[in-house]
Structure 1
Amino acid sequence: MVKKLLGELHEFKLPSILTPICMIGEVIAEMIIPVLMGRMVDLGINGGNMAYIVRTGIIMILVALFGLLSGLGGAVFGAKASTGFARNLRKKMFDNIQTFSFANIDKFSSSGLVTRLTTDVSNIQNAFQMILRMAMRAPASMVVAMVMSFIINAKLASIYLIAVIFLGIVIVFIMNNATKYFKQVFEKYDSLNESVQENVSAIRVVKAYVREEYENNKFKIAALNIYEMFVRAEKVVTLNGPIMTGTVYACILLISWIGAHMIVAGDLTTGEMMSLLTYCMNILMSLMMLSMIFVMVTMSQASARRIAEVIDEETSLGNPKDPIMEVKDGSIDFEHVDFAYTSDSEEPVLKDIDISIKSGETIGIIGGTGSAKSSLVNLISRLYDVTKGSIKVGGVDVRDYDMEALRNQVSVVLQKNVLFSGTIYDNLRWGDANASEEEIKRACKLACADEFIERFPDGYNTVIEQGGTNVSGGQRQRLCIARALLKKPKILILDDSTSAVDTATDAKIRKAFAEEIPGTTKLIIAQRISSVQDCDRIIVMDDGKVNGFGTHDELVKNNEIYREVYESQVGSSGDADFDEKS
């Protein structure tokens, strides 16, 4: 896992190498200064040698400047390496997410992916910077200070050694107990992000139903869960501070007490005593840094696993070895197709679908909620793969096509209409980035979107807010249809995409399709009989099976489900829903 993540350093390898080198330079400077200070006291001040004091002082200043520059270099290179590493991780995850099939996306919640791209990467960034700067500096500083202390006086240095062993045991104990809490806390972040995401995206619904208090309570619970988990972890981690501080003061008192007796006995000089006290602080501060590193690494372990899950996730769909790049026509053949969303499903969503659709036909698809209408059309553009059987487009199994080539010829207006922030032009050019103004206006005319666009003060340059919240549901649907038409597809799928459009506009859209794009195969999912009765043929779906397939007249005569719904809708002036059977 660590090796895989570090593989995303790429162009930031050099700063990652230079950072610890600079930190070692800073350590060397810090270790030299106590020695020079001790000699200045013993040979300069006590010996009354002013020239030696000045000379040693100048050397100390130069060493301090070297340490300062090394520290600055470590900070700059460390920041560049860690932020660059975080950028590459986000890009790698986002790029991989773009390859996901619907099945892969179903595996991760959208809030979970947001947490991984933000909070988890930030944790890795902070831990990586800490490791580059402190993981090299702290051990190097501690080892060198320990060696220098033993060189000066092995008896007093033994106190440091005992303290280091004791604190090392304490750190391991604390980290083992804190780890289990840090592992759980990031799962709580998913719940928090989900609460925020749902509230913001559905704020109009929240206010319409006066559910602000409910949403506040839900957010409060999610935030409280994170708070409580962090408090538990921090209660364990904060033990590190007082134990570390107590050990530092105990070492200073012992060294001062024993050292004073040794100075009186002539076994230790005053300068050596000062150097030992300085090294004492270096050793114990290094231990403090190491404990902070352990905290950061412990926190980032859970984040690293979550990031690796996204990077390692392989799309359940892929191109064949020698993919077919051209779709001949818009004919569609379902050959005894079964489909289930997961391999462990008790029964398939679609069962033994066996129908043929000619190129250029207009096919209506109708059925009650949960009858698997959307699942049926999602298989055509290979958003999912069939579990059993095969689907052919243009006489070729969809699994033999290059997916991009197939999807460019199968344009889908999904049940949930999504517009992106930007102008109407920007949104429409998702269908064709190089579409001319004339082509855009023609697509909008076919989708009956030109009627309202031209009433906007800025026309096609009108800015659409994120999610299309500043246009009505019907306008959003018509813009999405126009966007799909710009792809000039061989197959056009409208998944309940005119449900928010009045019946007159719906009829105009269908008429425009029949007259202007007769060669395009059109699949129209609808709840209203009026939206599909003029189609060449109509598929009646029921419980994942094709209950009927024929013209409107044939189905009225021969299909009980279709006839009942038709009669109920005609009897209710066309306002009855397909699910409301008589």
Structure 2
Amino acid sequence: MLKLLTFLKPYRKESIIGPIFKLFEAILELLLPTIVALIINNGIGAGDRAYVLRMGGLMLLMSILGFGCSMVCQYYAARASQGFGTTLRNTLFKHISKLSYAELDQLGTQSLVNRVTNDVNQLQLAVAMLIRLVIRAPFICIGAIIMAMILDFKLSLVLLAATPVFAIILYLIITRSAPLYRSYQKKLDKIALVLSENLTGVRVIRAFAKSRAERQRFNEASDDITQTAIRVGRVSALLSPMTTLVVNGAIIAILWVGGIHINQGLLSQGEIIAFINYVTQILLALIVVSNLIIIFTKASSSAARINEVLAVQASVQDPGSVTDGVADANSNPPAIQFEGVSFGYSTTGEKALSDISVVINHGETVGIIGGTGMGKSTFINLIPRFYDATVGKVRVAGINVKDYPLHQLRQKIGIVPQKAVLFTGTIADNIRWGNEHATDEEVILAAKIAQADEFITKLPDGYQTMISRGGLNLSGGQKQRLTIARAVATRPEILILDDSSSALDYATDAALRRAIREYSGGMTLLLVSQRVSTVQHADKIIVFDEGHIVGVGRHDDLLQSCDVYKEICLSQLSSQEVG
């Protein structure tokens, strides 16, 4: 947790001034029992009303000053904790946004969401408590013990005897609660994952009549976290009552010993009342300390989870500046070149691609086909460096993709993923999302190329139609066409369609490919699909099978030379079409 306190540096002033004012309040609070003792002994005992009023007025003034100091501290604590939370959250989000798919897969989406929200909130609360109470509570404890020792040293030994008992209780509870808090955070990630899957997949769940099974799954996750929360609560709940028990036991001993001292004339009535007030202050301060321990134990678990994310180094590093020596050596390099590339996902440990070597020239339309899980999507994910090749090199325009600044590389590439992702906002905003400077005419042209203009103009608000969260007010085919329009609007040198026309009918798919060819202007087009009809007219077709390229060529040539391609064609086309 101490490592994360560096995020408090911009709020150094607030972090110093806040505790100072809280310290002033604590000093004023420590003086009050002594004033009460003076009022009882010198005012009430002597029947001096003026003295009582004068000292009572002093107590009121001190209480008002203490209230003012407390409010100033609260203000600075709020500023520092909110600023700390904002800075940490922004830093965490910035770091996550730089991680490659490999790290994101490893950490998990829902876990990251919980860390950015719930864990940062826990630390934010801990910082607020740190500024407001972490100095005040121990100071009150120590100060009250010192003031009690001044009143009666022997009687104060009763308080000192209770200290190691409290320390043992504190140690036992912390050692048992800390692992439970870490377990609770992990189970919170699990329940968030189950909830997210149910909300995003609600249509599929209902279509398969799995609502009851999913409710049972959620209930199991909920019961699991509830049991952990109960164990945490059971352990934490012991702290305050056991603290109260120890201190109340000390009060009973003080009253007994104090009564003896009063009878012996060693202690006045006012002093014994002041002594009990100091014990009460210690009790309240210890309860605050016990609550702080619980808060900081939770925060420690959250800090460990956040540090775990910040410690993860992106496997895809941004070089910052391009090395163009390779491009100069070849006056006309291909658009894309794979040189002996192999790649495996860290989560599975198996190779997804093995020894891939292929050349794609500028302006070519290239079809990429193969069965499910054969390496097609992995192949195209290496081009914009969503992942880095384990072995070999991937070149774009003759330059190793690892030598490109990521922003510059990805500006050259427009990619439409398998799953259409839209953002809340208007249709025009979504098309313009990758190129915010696109004019209205360019937006409409991109929509026409993607075969989206026709359905957009039929909507009541046209291009200003608002898209709901996740595009739920659009069909699958409409969402796919809008994501294609968004990619086209960026005018990329390389356009990759990763099975992104699967929801389109044959006529729309054919019109889309024809429009892209007409308006491409030398654009290199990669069509990833499992449908032969999508790729059969491409300049070149690359056939994948179990992570290997088993065929490269035109449709007619591959029918003669590639058994895998011929088998795919026979499963989709008539024997007459295959020949």
Q: TM-score range by the shorter chain?
A: over 0.9
Distance 1:370 1:99 in 2: 27
2:511 maps to 508
Secondary structure in structure 1 of the residue aligned to 2:437: coil
2:549 maps to 546
Pairwise CA distance, 1:462: 0.7
Is 1:279–2:278 an aligned residue pair?
Answer: yes
2:61 maps to 62
Taking a change above 3 Å as real, the CA distance of residues 489 and 89 of structure 1, as seen in their structure-2 partners, is same
1:334 maps to 338
Taking only aligned residues, the RMSD between alpha carbons, in angstroms, comes to 1.9
User: What is the TM-score with the length of structure 2 in the denominator?
Assistant: 0.96
1:537 maps to 540
Is 1:409–2:408 an aligned residue pair?
Answer: no
2:475 maps to 472
Q: Could you tell me which amino acid in structure 1 is paired with residue 385 of structure 2?
A: R
More deviation, 533-542/509-518: 509-518
1:580 maps to none
1:377 maps to 380
Pairwise CA distance, 1:321: 5.7
Pairwise CA distance, 1:171: 1.2
Q: Structure 2: any 5+ residue segments left out of the alignment?
A: none
Pairwise CA distance, 1:277: 0.6
Q: Could you tell me which amino acid in structure 2 is paired with residue 562 of structure 1?
A: Y
Could you list the per-position Cα deviations for residues 162-211 of structure 1 after superposition, in whole angstroms to 9, with x for gaps in the alignment? 12221121111111111221111100001110011111111111222222
Distance 1:217 1:414 in 2: 33
Q: Structure 1: any 5+ residue segments left out of the alignment?
A: 577-582
Secondary structure in structure 1 of the residue aligned to 2:189: helix
**How is 1:127-146 mapped onto 2 (pairs within 5 angstroms)?**
127-146=126-145
Q: Could you tell me which amino acid in structure 1 is paired with residue 558 of structure 2?
A: L
Pairwise CA distance, 1:279: 0.3
Pairwise CA distance, 1:14: 2.0
Distance 2:553 2:61 in 1: 92
Is 1:568–2:567 an aligned residue pair?
Answer: no
Secondary structure in structure 1 of the residue aligned to 2:420: coil
Is 1:100–2:99 an aligned residue pair?
Answer: yes
Pairwise CA distance, 1:568: 2.9
**How is 1:32-47 mapped onto 2 (pairs within 5 angstroms)?**
32-47=31-46
2:266 maps to 267
Pairwise CA distance, 1:325: 8.7
Pairwise CA distance, 1:61: 1.4
Could you list the per-position Cα deviations for residues 93-124 of structure 1 after superposition, in whole angstroms to 9, with x for gaps in the alignment? 11111111111211111110111112211211
Q: Could you tell me which amino acid in structure 2 is paired with residue 2 of structure 1?
A: L
Distance 2:440 2:434 in 1: 13
User: What is the TM-score with the length of structure 1 in the denominator?
Assistant: 0.95
Distance 1:476 1:345 in 2: 31
**How is 1:476-495 mapped onto 2 (pairs within 5 angstroms)?**
476-495=479-498
Length, aligned pairs only = 573
Is 1:71–2:70 an aligned residue pair?
Answer: yes
Taking a change above 3 Å as real, the CA distance of residues 321 and 503 of structure 1, as seen in their structure-2 partners, is closer
Contact 1:412 1:492 in 2 (8 A): yes
2:315 maps to 316
Distance 2:130 2:218 in 1: 34
2:7 maps to 8
Pairwise CA distance, 1:126: 1.8
Contact 1:145 1:279 in 2 (8 A): yes
Secondary structure in structure 1 of the residue aligned to 2:573: helix
Secondary structure in structure 2 of the residue aligned to 1:349: strand
Distance 2:152 2:17 in 1: 34
**Aligned to 1:443, which of 446, 451, 460?**
446
1:120 maps to 119
Distance 1:10 1:219 in 2: 42
Distance 2:10 2:130 in 1: 19
Is 1:163–2:162 an aligned residue pair?
Answer: yes
Secondary structure in structure 2 of the residue aligned to 1:430: helix
Distance 1:61 1:235 in 2: 41
Could you list the per-position Cα deviations for residues 506-554 of structure 1 after superposition, in whole angstroms to 9, with x for gaps in the alignment? 1101111111114000000111111111100100100111100001110
Distance 1:309 1:549 in 2: 44
Distance 2:350 2:268 in 1: 86
Pairwise CA distance, 1:262: 1.7
More deviation, 259-268/373-382: 259-268
Distance 1:565 1:106 in 2: 31
Could you list the per-position Cα deviations for residues 462-494 of structure 1 after superposition, in whole angstroms to 9, with x for gaps in the alignment? 111111111111111110000001111110000
Is 1:197–2:201 an aligned residue pair?
Answer: no
Q: Could you tell me which amino acid in structure 2 is paired with residue 251 of structure 1?
A: A
**How is 1:378-393 mapped onto 2 (pairs within 5 angstroms)?**
378-393=381-396
Pairwise CA distance, 1:263: 1.6
Distance 2:241 2:96 in 1: 45
Q: Could you tell me which amino acid in structure 2 is paired with residue 182 of structure 1?
A: Y
1:456 maps to 459
Contact 2:324 2:399 in 1 (8 A): no
Q: Could you tell me which amino acid in structure 2 is paired with residue 300 of structure 1?
A: A
**Sequence identity, in percent?**
39
Contact 2:240 2:290 in 1 (8 A): no
Taking a change above 3 Å as real, the CA distance of residues 38 and 325 of structure 1, as seen in their structure-2 partners, is farther
Distance 1:275 1:416 in 2: 72
